[in-house]
Amino acid sequence: MATLQADMDMEKWGNRLGELTPQERSIVAQKATEAPFSGIYTTNKESGIYKCKVCNTPLFRSDDKFDSHCGWPSFDDAIPGAVKEQPDKDGRRTEILCAHCGAHLGHVFTGEGFTEKNTRHCVNSLSLSFEKKSTDKGLKEAYFAGGCFWGVEYYLEKMEGVKDVISGYMGGATKNPTYQEVCEGDTGHIESVKVIYDPSLISYKELAKHFFEVHDPTQIGRQGPDVGEQYISAVFVDDANERTTIKELIGLLEKKGYKIATKIYDKTEFYEAEEYHQDYYERHKKEPYCHRIIKRFD
């Protein structure tokens, strides 16, 4: 472990170093930086606490997180006493580390004017773990696939009662697939979205109805200009009630003359897509090119 930095407190690391991936070790121990917009927490909007990946010490609160559009998670404050600052070896920046174990987190900047606190803790996602706020336990999840996940995410995320929509891959056998692998068609995965919603504010049926109205459920092996089995229309159901709801909605549409191609599958493991796919249209200030709302239900 000669490559580890001297300011690491190895006693507080315990056996955690061997549990980290090579990329995680390169960041927390060797002070590398992950690629911008590649981290899983860059656009995370859920309520909770961000902890040190190594020692699990709470570092940042979600209430202090903001979107700086810099490509890394940004916080305008840290939990008191949790983060240590020291001059960076480049002589220009200020490095931030976990005050408990010394794991590298990123850098802190001031005077940029993003928030009233005028501070930006720029943190690598791979330096962090996230613990959801306990109130989020009342939320539920739903899984839909309707072509390019950018457009499905865009429309479903605008529904009242929806807390977040995450783009990802589902239905295949390959673990942790990349976008390139899914596009090559060998993984069996479908571009999908995970919808996190409050069932006290919106029902699964309302979500599903809107899903059938933001894409064309009659298309086979494609969605608009996107061709391939990764773009098919599908719903991944978690129980018999969800399956019954989807069948009921398909039946209503077929009575209206639609030839529905939507597949119904049991829920499988969902893999989040790369960070640059999340909130794509919102971040680029654009609207979907292959999805639009067409009212199909009364």
Q: Are residues 70 and 90 in the same domain?
A: yes
Q: What is the H or E stretch that residue 156 is in?
A: helix 149-156
Q: Is 148 a catalytic residue?
A: yes
Q: Are residues 277 and 152 in the same domain?
A: yes
Q: Are residues 77 and 149 in the same domain?
A: no
Measured in degrees and rounded to the nearest 5, phi and psi for residue 280 equal -60, -50
pLDDT at 41 (0 to 100): 94
pLDDT at 103 over 80: yes
Q: Are residues 103 and 158 in the same domain?
A: no
**Rg of the chain in Å (alpha carbons):** 22
Q: Are residues 60 and 159 in the same domain?
A: no
pLDDT at 136 over 90: no
User: Cα separation of 209 and 22, whole Å?
Assistant: 43
Q: Are residues 208 and 278 in the same domain?
A: yes
- Count of domains for the chain: 2
pLDDT at 12 (0 to 100): 52
Supply the CATH number for residue 30's domain: 2.170.150.20
Average pLDDT over residues 114-141: 87
Average pLDDT over residues 258-284: 90
pLDDT at 298 (0 to 100): 78
pLDDT at 13 (0 to 100): 58
Output the average pLDDT for the chain: 90
Q: Are residues 170 and 120 in the same domain?
A: no
Q: Would you say residue 88 lies in a domain?
A: yes
CB 62 within 8 A of CB 46: yes
User: Cα separation of 261 and 11, whole Å?
Assistant: 58
Average pLDDT over residues 266-271: 94
User: Cα separation of 95 and 98, whole Å?
Assistant: 10
Q: Would you say residue 297 lies in a domain?
A: no
Supply the CATH number for residue 251's domain: 3.30.1060.10
| SS3 state at 284 | helix
Q: Would you say residue 111 lies in a domain?
A: yes
Q: Which two tokens stand for residue 276?
A: 């640059």
- Reported as a pLDDT band with limits 50, 70 and 90, residue 282 is confident
Distances (CA, A) of 41 to 6, 72, 121, 270: 28, 8, 14, 17
Average pLDDT over residues 257-277: 93
pLDDT at 137 over 80: no
pLDDT at 18 (0 to 100): 65
Q: Would you say residue 1 lies in a domain?
A: no
**Burial category of 173 from C-beta neighbours within 10 Å (exposed 0-12, middle 13-18, buried 19 and up):** exposed
177-203 per-position pLDDT tens digit: 999 999 998 899 999 999 999 998 999
- Reported as a pLDDT band with limits 50, 70 and 90, residue 250 is very high
Looking at 115, 132, 149, the residue that finishes a domain is: 132
**Among 52, 70, 122, 183, the one annotated catalytic:** 122
Structural domain boundaries, residue 218: 139-284
Q: Are residues 146 and 230 in the same domain?
A: yes
Nearest to 211 by CA among 170, 157, 265, 252: 157
| SS3 state at 154 | helix
Looking at 101, 132, 163, the residue that finishes a domain is: 132
Q: Are residues 67 and 154 in the same domain?
A: no
User: Cα separation of 42 and 33, whole Å?
Assistant: 14
pLDDT at 73 (0 to 100): 96
Looking at 132, 166, 191, the residue that finishes a domain is: 132
pLDDT at 5 over 70: no
pLDDT at 8 (0 to 100): 53
CB 151 within 8 A of CB 281: yes
- As a whole-number percent, the residues of the chain with pLDDT over 90 amount to 72
Q: How close are the terminal C-alpha atoms of the chain, in Å? A: 65
**Among 101, 148, 183, 290, the one annotated catalytic:** 148
pLDDT at 6 over 50: no
